[in-house]
């Protein structure tokens, strides 16, 4: 077989398809690069690794830019990648260029699902990978994803929660931490997982003759429940659990409807205290550390 001729024809046909059939550009790219990757893999077995550089020089000379040795190696990687992962038209070639560099199959599956569900651009994908979203999930959640088990609202809350501090000022109070969160609320909600929407900060409630203020009140559309968020710039203390439990019970009694699930509580603190959480009897209460970036 003349591998070079076959590879050249694949690439030329792809360029023609992209010019004539705009709607099918992405599918054509993926099909072409799969076929080229397969041919390169077979050619390498016959002629050795150096054949990629040789083909790259000839393709660049005859077809123009875009066919560097690096790009051809990526196409070969894509072919190998497709043996263990289903190729989806909803992902672009730029997505796959990023995904094929990841070694962990479970991590690849996690980010592939994110791309599809949230229509992530390649820039957004790279940002999430850079922020180590998968690594910051706990082991139980990862096992659920692998086994395709049902997940809960708590499963996708990252630990630590990364909070962007664009002011670069030292955070010494809950008010200051709340201000930083509200300055980039979409990023904060993404850190918590799926379906979170903002209700109000400093949400006022009246208990007896005293007014109290919930730092941040959220609602999770996917899991149909309110979420009380309390911010602490110290290590977790036992009184923090008592405080948020009162707020959660208040929301359940005065705001929650019969069709909604019970309220979740998230204490975002400078440092967790696992010994205290060990004796917290309410599984709806979660403690997560924050990290300023």
> What domains sit in the chain, N to C, each tagged with a CATH number?
3-83 (no CATH), 151-292 (3.40.1350.10)
Instruction: Write out the chain's pLDDT in tens, 293 residues.
Output: 899 999 999 999 988 887 765 656 788 999 999 999 999 999 999 999 999 999 999 999 999 888 999 999 999 999 999 999 999 989 999 999 999 999 999 999 999 999 999 899 999 999 999 999 999 999 999 999 999 999 999 999 999 999 999 877 789 999 999 999 999 999 999 999 999 999 999 999 999 999 999 999 999 999 999 999 999 999 999 999 999 999 999 999 999 999 999 999 999 999 999 999 999 999 999 999 999 98
At 237-291, the pLDDT tens digits run: 999 999 999 999 999 999 999 999 999 999 999 999 999 999 999 999 999 999 9
**What region, left, alpha or beta, does residue 161 occupy, with left being phi > 0 and alpha being psi -120 to 50 degrees?**
beta
E-only strand ranges, the chain: 161-163, 196-207, 210-220, 225-235, 264-271, 285-292
Contact by Cβ (8 Å): 11, 36: yes
At 16-27, the pLDDT tens digits run: 887 765 656 788
Q: Running DSSP on this structure, what letter comes out for residue 262?
A: P
Tell me how many degrees the CA angle 47-53-56 measures, rounded to the nearest 5: 115
CA pair distance 163, 109, nearest whole angstrom: 25
Residue 271: both structure tokens together:
């440092």
Contact by Cβ (8 Å): 194, 158: no
Q: Running DSSP on this structure, what letter comes out for residue 281?
A: -
pLDDT at residue 22, as a whole number? 60
**What region, left, alpha or beta, does residue 223 occupy, with left being phi > 0 and alpha being psi -120 to 50 degrees?**
alpha
CA pair distance 165, 183, nearest whole angstrom: 9
**What region, left, alpha or beta, does residue 189 occupy, with left being phi > 0 and alpha being psi -120 to 50 degrees?**
alpha
| Other Cβ atoms closer than 10 A to 241 | 22
pLDDT at residue 25, as a whole number? 79
CA pair distance 197, 135, nearest whole angstrom: 24
């Amino acid at each position: 077989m003349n591998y070079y001729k076959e590879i050249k024809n694949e690439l030329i046909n792809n360029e023609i398809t992209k010019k004539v059939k705009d709607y099918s550009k992405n599918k054509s790219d993926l099909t072409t690069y799969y076929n080229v990757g397969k041919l390169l893999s077979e050619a390498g077995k016959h002629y050795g690794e150096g054949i990629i550089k040789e083909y790259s020089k000839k393709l660049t000379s005859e077809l123009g830019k875009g066919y560097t040795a690096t790009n051809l190696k990526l196409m070969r990687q894509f072919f190998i990648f497709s043996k263990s992962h289903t190729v989806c038209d909803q992902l672009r070639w730029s997505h796959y260029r990023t995904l094929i560099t990841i070694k962990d199959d479970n991590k690849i599956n996690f980010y592939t699902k994110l791309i599809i569900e949230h229509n992530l651009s390649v820039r957004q994908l790279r940002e999430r990978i850079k922020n180590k979203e998968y690594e910051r999930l706990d082991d139980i959640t990862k096992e659920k994803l692998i086994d395709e088990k049902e997940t809960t609202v708590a499963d996708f809350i990252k630990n630590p929660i990364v909070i962007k501090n664009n002011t670069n000022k030292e955070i010494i109070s809950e008010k200051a931490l709340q201000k930083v969160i509200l300055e980039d609320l979409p990023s904060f909600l993404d850190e918590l997982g799926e379906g979170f929407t903002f209700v109000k900060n400093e949400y006022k409630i009246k208990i007896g003759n005293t007014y109290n203020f919930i730092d941040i009140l959220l609602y999770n559309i996917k899991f149909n429940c309110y979420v009380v968020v309390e911010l602490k710039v110290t290590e977790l203390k036992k009184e923090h659990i008592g405080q948020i439990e009162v707020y959660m019970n208040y929301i359940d009694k005065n705001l929650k409807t019969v069709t909604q699930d019970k309220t979740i509580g998230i204490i975002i603190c400078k440092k967790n205290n696992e010994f205290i959480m060990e004796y917290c009897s309410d599984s709806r209460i979660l403690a997560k550390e924050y990290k300023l970036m």
